[in-house]
Amino acid sequence: MLKNSKIYIAGHRGMVGSAIKRNLESRGYTNLLHRTHSELDLTDQWQVNEFFESEKPEFVFLAAAKVGGILANSTYPAQFIYENLMIEANIINAAYKYNAKKLLFLGSSCIYPKFAPQPMKEEYLLTGELEGTNEAYAIAKIAGIRLCKHYNQQYGTNFMSVMPTNLYGQNDNFNLETSHVMPALIRKFHEAKINAKPEVVIWGTGSPKREFLHVDDMADACIYLMENYDYSDTAEFVNIGTGKDLSIKELAKMIKDIVGYKGEIVYDRTKPDGTPRKLLDVSRLHGLGWRGKITLREGIEQTYKWYLDNHKDKRS
């Protein structure tokens, strides 16, 4: 990518898309394209084709998606599979049709089987049953990976996919009904602190283990790969993570300490845990020359500060 290359960021107001936008701007890229949902409905094929035909972006970061935690995925599975399938199919097809030089599709680590060996290597895709609580979202993301693969095979495009681990950071969603575990815990502990509540209730047993990557590291990895890596038949996609995990119980204690909450933590064992463990094997990523820089504690401290400054925003 040249500094004046025309670069389209789909989903530029979401957590990942906004981080990619910030990173590109900090590197001196000056010709960035983006549209709000009211300006461009990505589930509408006609609108997407019209946008690509008129703007003809050279590089595409496909970060737009309908996302959420266990509750949202379980409550709205039809919306999760339909909207994500439409978004990725429309953009990937338009990128081919209007000759984009390169596209990077962002998937999710939930694509892996529920009981995949740990850490999860890229070749474990489609080797077992998915976790039921987010199956609809996972199937949509798997379809996106295969769309990129088969467009490359049939049309000679250069569309690649990356699989990020659990992300958190600036512009995260702190709505307790639709958020992921990290922002949900930050909000729960903060509200318990300011309201002097004696306890914070957390779903499940606290035993599942999760890996977390700050979204600014994720964005840096995406741009590094866009600049330095091309699709390969032998490397269909690349995991992006830290290669380190911790239990939800350990995470809760860390967030409790950072927030400064003094009460008790209670685990609601009637609620689902989800996948027992999700740790990515990041040896391929490290072999390509990229490693994260932001430690988990540093990242949570930054995210809590951002939440304090912005928690009256409509997403919270």
For the segment 150-181, what is each residue's pLDDT rounded down to a tens digit?
A: 999 999 999 999 999 999 999 998 988 777 88
Q: Annotation-wise, does 12 bind a ligand?
A: yes
Distance linking the first and last C-alpha atoms of the chain: 36
Reference 185, options 66, 193, 72, 132; nearest CA is: 193
Residue 316 domain-assigned (yes or no):
no
Domain around 249: 7-310
Count up the domains in the chain and report the number. Answer: 1
User: Is 210 annotated as contributing to ligand binding?
Assistant: yes
Q: Is residue 81 part of a domain?
A: yes
Q: Annotated binding residue at 263?
A: no
Q: Any binding-site annotation on 268?
A: no
* Residue 273 marked ligand-binding: yes
Give domain status of residue 2, yes or no: no
CA 14 to chain CA centroid, Å, is 10
Q: Would you write out the chain's pLDDT as a tens digit for each of its 316 residues? A: 999 999 999 999 999 999 999 999 999 999 999 999 999 999 999 999 999 999 999 999 999 998 877 777 888 899 999 999 999 999 999 999 999 999 999 998 889 998 899 999 999 999 999 988 889 999 999 999 999 999 999 999 999 999 999 999 999 989 887 778 899 999 999 999 999 999 999 989 999 999 999 999 999 999 999 999 999 877 889 999 999 999 999 999 999 999 999 999 999 999 988 778 889 999 999 999 999 999 999 999 999 999 999 976 444 4
CATH label of the domain that carries residue 123: 3.40.50.720
Confirm or deny that 106 is annotated as ligand binding. yes
Question: In angstroms, rounded to a whole number, what is the distance separating the alpha carbons of residues 29 and 61?
Answer: 14
Please state the φ and ψ torsions of residue 232, each to the nearest 5 degrees: -135, 140
Domain membership of residue 214 (yes or no) is yes
| Distance of alpha carbon 186 from alpha carbon 181, whole angstroms | 9
Based on the residue annotation, tell me whether 137 is a catalytic residue of this protein: yes
DSSP 129: P
* In-domain check, residue 1: no
Q: Does the annotation place 107 within a ligand binding site?
A: yes
Q: Which residue among 29, 96, 112, 137 is the active-site one?
A: 137
